[in-house]
Structure 1
Amino acid sequence: MQAALHLSRAIDAVNDRIGRWSMWLILVMTLLSAGNAVIRKLFDFSSNALLEAQWYMFSAVFLLCAGHALLHNEHIRIDLLSARYDPRTRAWMELLGTLVFLFPVVGLVLWLGTPYFLTALNNHEMSANPGGLILWPAKMLLPLGFALLWLQGLSQAIKQIGFLCGASPDPAHKGDELSAEQALIEELRRREEAEAASKLQGAHHG
């Protein structure tokens, strides 16, 4: 189990580093977009390569940060029910969700997306737009991003199993900091308690 947990920590470190570096592409993309707009207005010059570079960087941020988002539990989810269960039940739910949904879906995308990238690479595909960029780097992001997501799913599964076996702490526990969903659950719980207390008080007065 300890070897698996070491592997999990290595995967976490890789996805965390890739995610943090990829986020800088947002700044580069913003500057490139603004610069392209200024050049087009001032000098009546436009470049398809610059436009496509922005699309490439947007794709890179979206796909390369998928594993990072899963690591930090930033994917959108509806857990109004799961948050009410005890940590072990939530761990089982997370583990089953990873095995039943995440692994098969990501595996399907890798199976379909890898040949899509290899075809573009072998054929040296170019953009259909005049002066456009080569396509294989953009298409490479699809299998690469989903491979990182699959690895992070593996890491999360290892941590859940480790917690269930008593070999590691609850991976969902992040100290005293509450996520947005947890804060919402806590607020709803407080309101329910206040309403119940108000009704009880009204019944006593009646």
Structure 2
Amino acid sequence: MPNAIRTYVRWVDAFNRTVGRLVMYLIFVMMGILLYSSISRTFFNEPISWVMEMAQFIMTGYYLLGGAYSMQTDSHVRMDLLYGRWSPKRQAITDVITIFFLIFYLVFLLVGAISSTEYAISYGQKNYTAWAPPLAPIKIIMSIGIFLMLLQAIATFFKDWARMRGETLA
């Protein structure tokens, strides 16, 4: 593989590994918010209107920003009826073919996310709830997460291509 591809894969993997390992701690932030809400409601009889939406926003960031790391570590869910029995080369060939469907999907998802983010920023879009938070920050995070997943999918394509050729690319 050319050095440019090796460098791309190395940089994307390193960046997504860093982001993924930082983002995994958001689960504790979400748990803290939900615990705070539970204590506030149970002991002080003070329900908090922003808790559920904030927990949903944090979970969205956790899920979308961690998606590329999940793909990198092969931790995502895979339907394995035949795949596990195949040789590594046949698995790589299958992965090279099927990754194009993921890349195609992520490109359209990213175009929609960017369009939605532009709309939220231009019109000051807010959620239709009592708290009414602005939606631009979560949509920006959504766009970044999808973009990182697209970069990782391309890096995975290169790794599978190298594996198909009997090389390793890390």
* Local SS of the residue matching 2:24: helix
* Local SS of the residue matching 1:65: helix
Q: Distance in 2 between matches of 1:97 and 1:148?
A: 19
Equivalent in the alignment of 1:89:
90
Deviation of 1:128 after TM superposition, in Å, equals 2.2
The structure whose Rg is larger is 1
Higher RCO structure (Cα 8 Å, ≥6 apart): 2
* Local SS of the residue matching 1:153: helix
Partner AA of 1:140 in structure 2? I
- Residue identity (%): 22
Give 5+ residue unaligned stretches, structure 1.
172-206
* Local SS of the residue matching 2:8: helix
> Alpha-carbon deviations, 1:103-145, whole Å to 9, x = none?
1111111122211111011111223223332111122232222
Equivalent in the alignment of 2:164:
164
Equivalent in the alignment of 1:25:
26
Q: Distance in 2 between matches of 1:91 and 1:8?
A: 16
Partner AA of 1:92 in structure 2? I
Equivalent in the alignment of 2:103:
103
Deviation of 1:49 after TM superposition, in Å, equals 2.4
TM-score (norm 1): 0.76
> Alpha-carbon deviations, 1:72-111, whole Å to 9, x = none?
1111112231222222111111111101x10111111112
Give 5+ residue unaligned stretches, structure 2.
none
Partner AA of 1:116 in structure 2? S
Partner AA of 2:133 in structure 1? L
**1:7-22 map, 5 Å:** 7-22=8-23
Structure 1 residues 166 and 77, CA, compared in 2 at 3 Å: closer, same or farther? closer
Structure 1 residues 2 and 163, CA, compared in 2 at 3 Å: closer, same or farther? farther
Root-mean-square deviation over aligned CA pairs: 1.7
